[in-house]
Amino acid sequence: MADANNKDYDAIVVGGGPAGSSYAMTLARLGHSVLLLEREQFPRFHIGESLLTYTADVLDQLGVLDRMSAAGFVVKRGIELTGTEGTFRRLQLGKVGEGLRGWTLHVERSEFDKILLDTAAETPGVTVLQKARVTRLLNSGERISGVRYGHDGAEHVATARFVIDASGRAGVIARGLNLRKADDHLKMAAVFKHLGGLDEGKNPATEGDIQLGLHADGWVWAIPIRPDTISIGCVAPAEILRASRPEEVWDEHLARIPRIRERIEGTTVVRELAGENNFEYHCDTLAGPGYFIIGDAGSFTDPVFSGGVLLALTTGRRAAEETAICLAGESGEAEAAERYQNFFKTGYETYYRLIRAVYDNRYASGGRELRVTPYADDRRLAGAGWWGIQEKLRATSGGPFDTEEAIEHFWLVRALNGDFWSGKNRFFQRLREEKSWHLFDDFKPVYECPVHAGD
């Protein structure tokens, strides 16, 4: 391990999750030196286990998809929405037109994040220190110019042209500069466990699919992260979890979803209950003198459609590209910060709108119901929430929206696969018209997909 004490780098990255690793490997491949400081020793537990097809594409572009595929994770080809009566609806990831990937992975994050961090550490130019906790930001004038960190029982200082906040929920720069905000929506929380002894022969759904179990007080995820291990999480309004015992909420909400109950029959707990709250926060400033904020450090939104890792990888990569442009003197920092922020906000706000669409009716009506019906044959809620938007799309758009099949399996599934920066995606075009669903203050959207050029 290199002695990083008092060294000067092109960039210091605080945090070795997907965002930090993506940033570090990208900047180093562009010829620059990076010190990445991670407070934990990997492998460490992390929640966030279902990936999008675009996430697999980015992993491929970063050169790590083969390693991920060889790690024994589970291949995901579909999303099952299911309800309390055992009704269900499946969305096939592959029904998105020619040339796009129809599969991705569910992953055990401890191993997934370790593969990414190891790949970053193997990249010439990157020094990774684990069990290295950043405790202070250093300034030079109004610029962030370095960090103080604890490692091996001693305090160290390192300086760099750029310091990158990839510290996830901790938000070392985001909170250190008091940039983080929260709005009044999406006050949800989650409790989750891992169950072992899974036998997918008992799965009434399609093997490998994520199941999203929808009920009146929230939703339940079932994500197989290994052939014999499944992650089960219950997401509910934070006030429900605060007012009850989390273990009881987990049991009771899971009991409401027959197709998930059937899938996990005979399993036993291999990771005890844990939880996360704080489902919506964001920063309007994501870059400034000497810093970029990437991934969860900059924004977080409800995980129902599994966008977090994609957003972390892509914002990490883009921030590294902008850093390299600045280091080469090809752009001023203020312009780079502006470009980066517009890119970040386009992706996160599009994902946020998708989530607001899911929850909309519940909040608009002040009612308790999560009005996302998975029932193809149940049109009682057709005017409400998410499916209501589909109906409106069909009424106003023509072309690819001629049939319901075409809607679901083209723009909608493409949206759910990670099409967050597309200007062409009709589903997102519609969501972007909802004025009240903005997340950030005014910004200039960048409709240019970082995963599939030209989209």
Closest distance to ligand FAD from the beta carbon of 113 (Å): 6
17 binds ligand FAD (CB under 6 A): yes
Closest distance to ligand FAD from the beta carbon of 61 (Å): 16
Closer CB to ligand FAD, residue 300 or residue 401?
Answer: 300
Locate the DSSP E strands across 120-250.
Answer: 126-130, 133-140, 143-151, 154-165, 180-181, 188-196, 210-215, 218-226, 229-237
Torsion angle of C-alpha atoms 115, 121, 124, 125, degrees rounded to 10: 140
Closest distance to ligand FAD from the beta carbon of 130 (Å): 9
133 binds ligand FAD (CB under 6 A): yes
Q: Which of 263, 224, 233, 229 is nearest to 78 (CA)?
A: 224
Q: Which residues touch 76 (CB under 8 Å, ≥6 apart)?
A: 50, 51, 93, 103, 104, 105, 106, 208, 209, 210
Q: Output the CA–CA distances (angstroms, integers) from residue 339 to 292, 331, 336, 432, in the order listed.
A: 12, 11, 5, 20
How many angstroms separate the CA atoms of 169 and 163, rounded? 17
Q: Which of 93, 92, 81 is nearest to 370 (CA)?
A: 81
- The identity of residue 260, as a single letter, is I
Site for ligand FAD in 163-182 (CB under 6 A): 166-168, 170, 172
14 binds ligand FAD (CB under 6 A): yes
418 binds ligand FAD (CB under 6 A): no
**Which region among 44-52, 196-204, 334-342, 440-448 touches ligand FAD (by CB under 6 A)?**
44-52
What single-letter DSSP state applies at residue 410? I
Closest distance to ligand FAD from the beta carbon of 370 (Å): 16
Closer CB to ligand FAD, residue 246 or residue 388?
Answer: 246
39 binds ligand FAD (CB under 6 A): yes
Closest distance to ligand FAD from the beta carbon of 296 (Å): 4
37 binds ligand FAD (CB under 6 A): yes
Of 4, 19, 28, 287, which one interacts with ligand FAD (CB under 6 A)?
Answer: 19
Q: Output the CA–CA distances (angstroms, integers) from residue 331 to 49, 163, 327, 334, in the order listed.
A: 37, 18, 9, 8
450 binds ligand FAD (CB under 6 A): no
| # residues contacting ligand FAD (CB under 6 A) | 36
Of 9, 24, 38, 414, which one interacts with ligand FAD (CB under 6 A)?
Answer: 38
Site for ligand FAD in 217-256 (CB under 6 A): 233
Q: Output the CA–CA distances (angstroms, integers) from residue 134 to 28, 74, 76, in the order listed.
A: 21, 34, 36
Closest distance to ligand FAD from the beta carbon of 380 (Å): 29
Whether residue 400 has a cis bond before it, omega within 30° of 0? no
With 0-12 / 13-18 / 19 or more C-beta atoms within 10 angstroms meaning exposed / middle / buried, residue 358 is: buried
Closest distance to ligand FAD from the beta carbon of 402 (Å): 32
Site for ligand FAD in 292-311 (CB under 6 A): 295-297, 303, 306-309
Closest distance to ligand FAD from the beta carbon of 377 (Å): 28
49 binds ligand FAD (CB under 6 A): yes
In the structure encoding, which two tokens stand for residue 186, read together?
Answer: 């999406």
**Which region among 9-17, 329-337, 352-360, 441-449 touches ligand FAD (by CB under 6 A)?**
9-17
Site for ligand FAD in 333-372 (CB under 6 A): none
Closer CB to ligand FAD, residue 225 or residue 412?
Answer: 225
In the three-class reduction of DSSP (H, G, I as helix; E, B as strand; rest coil), residue 214 is classed as strand
Closer CB to ligand FAD, residue 401 or residue 421?
Answer: 421
419 binds ligand FAD (CB under 6 A): no
Closest distance to ligand FAD from the beta carbon of 186 (Å): 12
| Residue-level length of the chain | 455
How many angstroms separate the CA atoms of 448 and 433, rounded? 18
Closest distance to ligand FAD from the beta carbon of 134 (Å): 4
Of 48, 213, 218, 374, which one interacts with ligand FAD (CB under 6 A)?
Answer: 48
Beta bridge partners of 258: none
Phi-psi region of 197 (alpha: psi -120 to 50; beta: other; left: phi over 0): left
Q: Which of 276, 298, 428 is nearest to 351 (CA)?
A: 428
**Which region among 34-42, 324-332, 364-372, 398-406 touches ligand FAD (by CB under 6 A)?**
34-42
Q: Which residues touch 81 (CB under 8 Å, ≥6 apart)?
A: 88, 89, 90, 91, 211, 212, 214, 372, 374
10 binds ligand FAD (CB under 6 A): no
314 binds ligand FAD (CB under 6 A): no
Do 215 and 84 contact (CB within 8 A), yes or no? yes
**For binding to ligand FAD (CB under 6 A), which residues are involved?**
14-20, 37-40, 46-51, 133-134, 166-168, 170, 172, 190, 233, 276, 295-297, 303, 306-309, 312
